[in-house]
Amino acid sequence: MIALIMAGGIGSRFWPLSRKKNPKQFLPIVSKESMIRLTVDRLLPKINVADIYVVTALEQAELVRKHLPELPTENIICEPFGMNTAPCIGLSLAWLEGKYPADETMLVAAADHQITNTSAFYECLQTAANAAQKGYLVTFGVLPDYPATCYGYIECGREIMENTIQVLRFKEKPKLAKARQYLQTGNFLWNSGMFLWQLQTIRRAYEELQPEIWNLMGQIRQSLDDNLPEQAIAALYAQMPKIPVDVGIMEKSTNIAVVPAGIGWSDVGGWKALAELSPADAEGNFCQNPLSQIIDSRNNYVFSDKMVSLIGVKNLIVVDTGDVLLIMNKKRSEDVKIIVNRLNEAGKEELL
């Protein structure tokens, strides 16, 4: 099996800790190890390091080498610039063309997700591989335990193989009432954004469903074979439609299957998600510095090396990175991206 790890984002929802020069996937968010290190360590018992590839932004390639020194240099695939997952995977397929037989299976996973039940994850990998060998494009659906509005959903149909279910359709991130309805019906799973397929199956899907990307993939492959300069490949890559693989391939395909995955998964998508994963006191408060003092306060999360005092407040997220202090209501954690956009517009590169 091949593993393709997508590691090119900037983690704007984790600003101000996640910055362009050191984004989320290279930070020790949930342990002392970086997220990308944890992702690779999770795969190594089942996949040889020579068969693990990382696709990342060109300016992040050195960070990949630093965090994954054992990874062969040729296994780092560089995007000329950020696009979306359909072009990102297409570029990677062009890079891998001819290196593996057509029936080889490939796992696609993000570099910054948490999985706590590794034994269950390995079982799901085997189940998904069995389905992929039957010609299915397989996604991993996480068993929901609350009506989340921050995830997309997968509507399930009949069982087509053992522990493998037909996908009826994908649903976008819902409003709370709809999320509650999904949870009550019992046939919806969270979309984890992890996939597994045979190389020949996903290539055929691009050819049939995304002919523009398919054609550009062929041109990029030829450019790589001809050792053309990076600018030539970047010019081709810029022409790709900027769409996620879920929309461009998975939603359009008829051979989609989902493996229900009770694997202790979280995308650790932002500060609110991290707060929910962090150990809290009896009042739901977490402070990084154990000397912090809390009075009449509940459900607060404080990320700061400093001693912090909270008095009479609730549902706050406080993040102190030395040069930036962020204070927000937990319900507004997604709005961090608005601040990042404003800083971009103002040209405040030193804060990004």
- Residue-wise pLDDT for 99-110, tens only, equals 999 999 999 999
Higher pLDDT, residue 198 or 174: 198
Per-residue model confidence as pLDDT tens digits over 226-252: 888 888 889 999 999 999 999 999 999
Domains of the chain: 2-266 (3.90.550.10), 271-351 (no CATH)
pLDDT grade for 285, boundaries at 50, 70 and 90: very high
Give percent of the chain with pLDDT exceeding 70.
100
With 0-12 / 13-18 / 19 or more C-beta atoms within 10 angstroms meaning exposed / middle / buried, residue 8 is: buried
Q: Is the peptide bond before 23 cis (omega within 30 degrees of 0)?
A: no
pLDDT mean over 259-279: 90
Query: Closest Cα partner for 213 from 98, 90, 94?
Result: 90
- Residue 41 gets the label, from left (phi > 0), alpha (psi -120 to 50) or beta, of alpha
Whether pLDDT at 167 is above 90? yes
With 0-12 / 13-18 / 19 or more C-beta atoms within 10 angstroms meaning exposed / middle / buried, residue 102 is: exposed
